[in-house]
Amino acid sequence: MEKSFERLAISLKEVAGFIYPNEIELHWSILIVVYPYITGLVAGAFILASLERVFNVKEVEPTYRLSLLTALAFLIVAPLPLVAHLGHPERAFEIFLTPNFRSAMAMFGFVYAWYLLVVLLVELWFEYRKDIVVWSKKEKGLKRIIYLVLTLGASDLSEKSLRFDKKAGKIITIIGVPSAFLLHGYVGFIFGSVKANPWWSSVLMPVVFLFSAIVSGIALMILLYMVITLFRKKPIEMSCIDKLASFLLYAMILDFSLENLDFIHRIYESEESIKILYQLLISKLFISMVVIQILLGTIVPMVLLAWTKLGHLPDELRRLIYFCSAILTLIGIFSIRWNVVIGGQLFSKSLRGLTTYKMELLGIEGLLVALFFLVLPFIILYILVALFPPWKEAEVKLET
Amino acid sequence: MNRRDLLKNLLIIPPGIFLGGLFTKILSLLKKTPLGKISLESIYEKYNPHEHYYAMGIDIDKCIGCGRCVEACKIENNVPQEPFFFRTWVERYVITVDGETKVDSPEGGIHGFPETLTEKEILRTFFVPKLCNHCDNPPCVQVCPVGATYKSIDGAVLVDKDYCIGCRYCIQACPYGARYLHPETHTADKCTFCYHRIVKGLQPACVEVCPTGARIFGEVKPRNNPLARFVRFNKIGVLKPYLNTDPKVYYANLDKEVT
Amino acid sequence: MPQQIKYLFGLAIALIIIFFIVRHYLMSPSFGLFGHYRAASLKTVVSQEIKYAGEIACTECHDDIFTLKEKSYHRGVACEVCHSPAYAHTQDPSEHKPPAPRKRAYCPLCHGYNPTRPTGFPQIDPVTHNPGNPCISCHNPHDPTPPVTPQGCEPCHTQIARTKIVSPHAPLPCTQCHIAKEEHKLNPRVALPSKPRNREFCGQCHSQEAESSPEIPRVDMKSHYSGFLCWECHYPHHPEARLKKEE
């Protein structure tokens, strides 16, 4: 506790202008930055997967199963930073016992449960059921038990039943798209509905969150697809990543336009908070917002991707550009989350001063923990991929 | 804490604590520890909350910035002594002739305001005591996911420290900076209007010790009490009225610079 | 019905039933009694320990001091402002003795000069006001009437005095414009000092016909914003008239 007081004392010295005395402690730390970032990746990856199913985009098929598994891996991790951040993690279950239906946050448990249990797991189950049933007969030991449990006893592999799987999968995807919108739009709503905070309070917040989620999800899938294919020593299907890159570009244009709309709207309305928000932008958020989010994270990848569309570039160069753009985009979206969550707490609600965020390194709300939560989904994904190979050639062919 | 411990903690603590909490709760319920029948009488004894609805008045022209209220509040309510946690505090506003507004609240004003804020010529200057506004339409209560903060029958906004999960959404939602996370209980904490005192007929501690009567405590409805007189004879302002929080801390002679 | 649906729905219904059973057993029994919260928490809040007894409790034993104080300028200043919280003292008077501040540093918390304090509130400059002496050597805190009634206005109207001293009106005594009865020094709010009532009052010095010294700024009383009173534009304690001319 003394240590945290020391940190607060240092923050107190760095306050510029006037802040309310209780505002010295910054309450939502880097873990709360990680949380919307991860949920965004979930929603983005899922929406990408549904493109193939709902809109019949055949080019992106190689990423379909991988996207679903990625969404699952990240969704499993999504609530962990939240729980770790609570003052009383052991009371977290109260959110299911006595949810306050007027609270945006209380809905988290239900939206999350709906998305995980009703959408993602069910869709994956229908997608993999045939394979699981076959594997449960072929494999041995622990793996066999896992597969056996996962069949839930539904081992019917008749043609009629397989046709039903396909149909059910499609219906779930159709439910899934609005659910993914709900999942992430809702995270935006948690921030956008705080009327006390002019940096957050905006009707556009859920929409901007959603589109940035789609952007980050596509970028992640480009990256994962390229890296995994590299490790599997398989050729990258250019038609697939070309298509993904196009989607990334379109999503980015939409996202960037919405962000600019929000920006212009704020400047034009010029409400009482505009002065302090301007101060915030040119001082504390200059690097993370202007340089990283807008310049490196949005404009550079957008220009690069547009170049690949307009010019006839060799495959090698296109791959390099896609790879770099995806990484820059992922960093850019992370800084969006940072600028929203941390940025929204750096100015006083008295609109008279700015404070600083002193990030811990080792503590429960520190950098290492945040990094851990960012790496964890990849470990889970590794296990999931080992259990449910998402590659086309791994899919079980039934002799008919 | 070294890195290995940290990782170990990370893997075990959040789910561990969650499951542990669940388990102990189940055990305690299985033991059927009688919680006692909860009724108005068992909580309040003779006091009837339905007969009251509280509010506070603050006369800015009477505040001398002595900080006795801040100290009394910290003592009465066991608020941590560190200058980062306040249930009430005093701000000083100095508006200079060249139109600049300077505001400060050194350590919440608990030791008064011995230092001068500006060397420039002063146009007008005043102190503003602040505390939880006990809003009639409280945004903090709206956002609490579990119902750990609530408006009592008699109009005080309170925190259930044995139920609060410490998510701090309420702290974000409070436009007045009136809430903080208690460093010992790890739950949200705030002014209660000294609820434990007012139900026994005493004044809140800050009102009790205010030497100039700048703070007036009373009720919104009945006419024969100090607050009713206060709102009758003063032009009343509230903080950030445009947010529609309906504050129940009424300021007389509130300046437009006060935010 | 396909087999998959049967098993899936079975599982879903089982999970939902389990959820409601668990919820039933984990819910706090007093939750929702008066609203969306645990009524039992009110008990926790209400049972918080009291530290400040409140002045009425003090009067039960210290009626003499209370009577003295209530007739003095310190009426309304509760005992526990200076004597610290005394609930423990009311429960066990011999075990818990409330402290009494005797140091010189204590009284300036309220009575040290601070320009932000409301004018009329008695303030002294701790550096120049009888340095070295504890306040209680001259003032009885329960009846703090000064041993010598202040002759000037500055002790209570320091902010005005300090403003006036840097203004062109510095050489004027307060009594030039305000007539204060002796009573004002003892009962300030009962006997308020007078204030000038008309333009002619200022005109005694500032009209073109006035017989005052020539460097005093003059105006044509007829044409200079007729219909306004002088102090509607010029703050008499700092008139700022010359300042405007220089600009």
C140 occurs within a structural domain: yes
Q: Is A235 exposed, middle or buried (0-12, 13-18, 19+ CB in 10 A)?
A: exposed
Q: What is the pLDDT of residues B66-111, one digit of tens each?
A: 999 999 999 999 999 999 999 999 999 999 989 899 999 999 999 9
Q: What is the pLDDT of residues B106-156, one digit of tens each?
A: 999 999 998 888 888 888 999 999 999 999 999 999 999 999 999 999 999
Report how far residue A38's alpha carbon sits from residue A333's, in angstroms, rounded to the nearest whole number: 11
Q: Is A105 exposed, middle or buried (0-12, 13-18, 19+ CB in 10 A)?
A: buried
pLDDT computed for residue A92 by the predictor: 92
Q: What is the CATH number of the domain that holds A39?
A: 1.20.1630.10
pLDDT confidence band for B13 (50 / 70 / 90) = low
C36 occurs within a structural domain: no
Strands across the sheet containing B249-252: B215-219, B54-59, B249-252, B236-237
Task: Indicate the residue type of C206.
Answer: H
Report how far residue A41's alpha carbon sits from residue A212's, in angstroms, rounded to the nearest whole number: 9
Q: A400 CB near a chain C CB, below 8 Å?
A: no
Provide mean pLDDT across the span B168-180: 96
Report how far residue C209's alpha carbon sits from residue C194's, in angstroms, rounded to the nearest whole number: 26
Domain count, chain A: 1
| pLDDT of residue B10 exceeding 60 | no
Q: Which of A248, A292, A288, A333 is nearest to A41 (CA)?
A: A333
| pLDDT of residue C246 exceeding 50 | no
Is residue C223 helix, strand or coil? coil
Report how far residue B196's alpha carbon sits from residue A134's, in angstroms, rounded to the nearest whole number: 67
- Look at the block and give the residue holding tokens 């388990």: B23
Report how far residue B253's alpha carbon sits from residue C113's, in angstroms, rounded to the nearest whole number: 22
Report how far residue A45's alpha carbon sits from residue A244's, in angstroms, rounded to the nearest whole number: 11
A353-354 and B249-252 beta bridge pairing: unpaired
Count how many pairs of residues, chain B against chain C, have C-beta atoms within 8 Å.
Answer: 140
Query: What chain A residue is nearest to C8 in terms of C-alpha separation?
Result: A152
DSSP structure class, residue B58: E
Instruction: Give C183 or B105, the one with higher predicted confidence.
Output: B105
In contact, B206 and B167? CB cutoff 8 Å: no
A125 occurs within a structural domain: yes
In contact, A100 and B146? CB cutoff 8 Å: yes
In contact, A371 and A359? CB cutoff 8 Å: no
CA distance B173 to chain A (A): 6
Q: Please, which residues have CB within 8 angstroms of residue A358's CB and are 6 or more apart in sequence?
A: A7, A10, A11, A26
Report residue A200 as tokens: 């957050």
Q: Is B241 exposed, middle or buried (0-12, 13-18, 19+ CB in 10 A)?
A: exposed
A155 occurs within a structural domain: yes
Q: In which region does residue B45 sit, left (phi positive, over 0), alpha (psi from -120 to 50) or beta (all else)?
A: left
Is residue B244 helix, strand or coil? coil
A2 occurs within a structural domain: no
pLDDT computed for residue C145 by the predictor: 84
Q: B17 CB near a chain A CB, below 8 Å?
A: yes
pLDDT computed for residue A153 by the predictor: 82
User: Distance between alpha carbon C180 and the CA centroid of its chain, in Å?
Assistant: 25
Length of chain B counted residue by residue: 259
pLDDT confidence band for C247 (50 / 70 / 90) = very low
Contacts of B187 in chain A (CB under 8 A): 87-88
Report how far residue C242's alpha carbon sits from residue C247's, in angstroms, rounded to the nearest whole number: 9
Report how far residue C209's alpha carbon sits from residue B120's, in angstroms, rounded to the nearest whole number: 37
**Correct CATH for B39-90+129-259 of 3.40.50.2300, 2.60.40.10, 1.10.580.10, 3.30.70.20:** 3.30.70.20
- Look at the block and give the residue holding tokens 């009688």: B34
User: Distance between alpha carbon A371 and the CA centroid of its chain, in Å?
Assistant: 15
Query: What chain B residue is nearest to A96 in terms of C-alpha separation?
Result: B146
Residues of chain C above pLDDT 90, percent: 44
Q: A117 CB near a chain C CB, below 8 Å?
A: yes
Stretch among A381-390, B9-18, B51-60, C110-119 having the lowest mean pLDDT: B9-18
Report how far residue B29's alpha carbon sits from residue B37's, in angstroms, rounded to the nearest whole number: 15
Q: State the residue range of the domain holding A236.
A: 14-394
Q: Do C116 and B126 touch (CB under 8 A)?
A: yes
pLDDT computed for residue A365 by the predictor: 87
Q: Please, which residues have CB within 8 angstroms of residue B127's CB and are 6 or more apart in sequence?
A: B60, B63, B64, B65, B90, B91, B92, B93, B109, B113, C116, C117
Report how far residue C196's alpha carbon sits from residue C179's, in angstroms, rounded to the nearest whole number: 9
Distances (CA, A) of B257 to A308, A350, B103, B125: 54, 10, 10, 11
* Helical pair A238-269 and A300-310, crossing angle rounded to 10 deg: 130
Q: A114 CB near a chain C CB, below 8 Å?
A: no
Q: C33 CB near a chain A CB, below 8 Å?
A: no
Contacts of A93 in chain C (CB under 8 A): 26
CA distance B143 to chain A (A): 4
Report how far residue A54's alpha carbon sits from residue A66's, in angstroms, rounded to the nearest whole number: 17
| pLDDT of residue C34 exceeding 80 | yes
Report how far residue C93's alpha carbon sits from residue A10's, in angstroms, rounded to the nearest whole number: 43
Q: State the residue range of the domain holding C203.
A: 199-241
- Cα A228–A388–A132 angle (5° rounding)? 160
Domain ranges of chain B: 1-33, 39-90+129-259
pLDDT computed for residue B33 by the predictor: 46
Task: Point out the residues of chain A with pLDDT beneath 50.
Answer: none
Task: List the chains bordering chain A where 3 or more Cβ pairs fall under 8 Å.
Answer: B, C
Task: Indicate the residue type of B137.
Answer: N
Residues C141 and C74 in one domain: yes
* Other beta carbons less than 10 A from residue B183's beta carbon: 17
pLDDT computed for residue B118 by the predictor: 83
> Closest to C45 (Cβ–Cβ): which among B25, B64, B192?
B192
Alpha helices in chain C (DSSP H): 3-26, 40-46, 55-59, 63-71, 79-83, 87-91, 108-111, 158-165, 182-186, 199-206, 241-246
CA distance A97 to chain C (A): 6
In contact, A84 and A364? CB cutoff 8 Å: yes
CA distance B2 to chain C (A): 37
| pLDDT of residue B8 exceeding 70 | no
Q: What is the pLDDT of residues B222-242, one digit of tens each?
A: 778 899 999 999 999 999 999
Report residue A18 as tokens: 């006037």
Report how far residue A202's alpha carbon sits from residue A195's, in angstroms, rounded to the nearest whole number: 8
Residues C228 and C141 in one domain: no
ipTM, interface predicted TM-score of the complex: 0.91
User: Distance between alpha carbon A386 and the CA centroid of its chain, in Å?
Assistant: 23
Q: Which of C228, C227, C177 is nearest to C204 (CA)?
A: C177
Sign of CA dihedral A19, A23, A26, A28: negative
DSSP structure class, residue A292: I
Q: What is the pTM of this model?
A: 0.88
Is residue A389 helix, strand or coil? coil
Q: Which of A29, A41, A28 is nearest to A334 (CA)?
A: A41
Domain count, chain C: 2
In contact, B96 and B102? CB cutoff 8 Å: yes
Contacts of A98 in chain C (CB under 8 A): 27-28, 31-32, 36
C203 occurs within a structural domain: yes
In contact, B160 and C41? CB cutoff 8 Å: yes
Q: Which of A355, A251, A336, A252 is nearest to A292 (CA)?
A: A336
pLDDT computed for residue B200 by the predictor: 94
